[in-house]
Amino acid sequence: MQKRKLGNSNLEVSALGLGCMRMSFGDSPVGDKQEMITFLHAAVERGITFFDTAEVYGPFTNEELVGEALAPFRGQVVIATKFGFKLDPIKGPSPSGGLDSRPERIKQVAEASLKRLRVESIDLFYQHRIDPNVPIEDVAGAVKDLIQEGKVKHFGLSEANAETIRRAHAVQPITALQSEYSIWWRTIEEAILPTCEELGIGLVPYSPLGRGFLTGKIDENTTYDSSDIRSRNPRFTTEAIKANRAVIDLLERIAAQHGATPAQIALAWLLAQKPWIVPIPGSRKLARLEENIGSVAVELTSNDLSEIERAMSQITVVGDRY
């Protein structure tokens, strides 16, 4: 497995990470715990060293799963987790819901996450969503304190705009920004990606396979359980799926030239954008994991990238991402 560094930091990770959320949270049915532990071990054996979780996934159960599964590999893997949602430490999500990035809350989350992850220091600590009630300088300052105390190694933001990134980075350098980014969701290219490049911040795209659509395995006859976010997603209505088939046709055309799959081309396209981009596709199946890992070996030519650019400029993707 190739390695990449996230921005100007010394945080080196596998070129492809693994999103762990759906192993214990989200779409029904969630994975069996022992099977997921075995799966996480298989990911490490295949060279994956970058794992993504959050306290809100469950809440808490995903961090516990990742912590237990990766305990034998301490020092060999990088675990990223997140703070920022309003949660009761015992009961889970509070009835009022919402965000909470008060400095005292951030420090409480860090202490709890350290225990669940079974580590002495959190490798990468993201603010999960920007809290409009707490100045980003206060958030960055709280994480800076945790870094100075040795409880956190690197600071990250998720779904932040360019101005917020700059303000936070001035207080505590940001190692990575996590944001949705894929061949069919490219809004961050206008202002956010150039800001990351200028400041030396790595990008960690989530939903790099468009919540499964870019694998080419989904058509208008695909159905979803009510617990699945896609059952309420505008891009997964029958009309949108039919209209967006053009994206899959493009991926299949390029894939045929490389002996690859549409998913591998979608991931290879991301990897080809910048050397400091590390996608984190989620997976629970070994075959899918191995397919995703295969994308690292796919080298898209400048002609491939130009063809994708030309074709995508002619395609109007139907449906909002949420």
- For residue 262, the one-letter residue type is P
Q: Predicted confidence band at 66 (pLDDT cuts at 50, 70, 90)?
A: very high
Task: Look at the block and give the residue holding tokens 């709280």.
Answer: 142
Structure tokens at 199: 């400041």
| 3-state SS assignment for residue 41 | helix
| 3-state SS assignment for residue 92 | strand
Whether the Cβ atoms of residue 224 and residue 230 lie closer than 8 Å to each other: yes
Mean pLDDT of the region 214-232: 83
Mean pLDDT of the region 113-141: 98
**Domain parsing of the chain, residue ranges:** 3-210+273-296
pLDDT for position 297 = 98
Residue 95 has pLDDT above 70, yes or no: no
| 3-state SS assignment for residue 4 | strand
DSSP characters for 222-280? ----TTSGGGG-GGGSHHHHHHTHHHHHHHHHHHHHHT--HHHHHHHHHHHH-TTB---
pLDDT for position 218 = 86
pLDDT for position 96 = 53
Q: 175: part of which helix (H) or strand (E)? A: strand 174-180
Q: What is the pLDDT of residues 275-288, one digit of tens each?
A: 999 999 999 999 99
Is CATH 3.20.20.100 the right assignment for the domain spanning 3-210+273-296? yes
Between CA 192 and CA 71 the distance in angstroms is 35
Residue 231 has pLDDT above 50, yes or no: yes
Residue 207 has pLDDT above 80, yes or no: yes
* Predicted TM-score of the model (pTM): 0.95
Mean pLDDT of the region 129-143: 98
pLDDT over 70 percentage in the chain? 97
Mean pLDDT of the region 235-253: 93
pLDDT for position 228 = 77
Looking at the annotation, which residues are catalytic? 57
Secondary structure string (H, E, C) spanning 95-138: CCCCECCCHHHHHHHHHHHHHHHCCCCEEEEEECCCCCCCCHHH
Where is average pLDDT lowest: 89-98, 183-192, 216-225, 309-318?
89-98
Whether the Cβ atoms of residue 296 and residue 16 lie closer than 8 Å to each other: yes
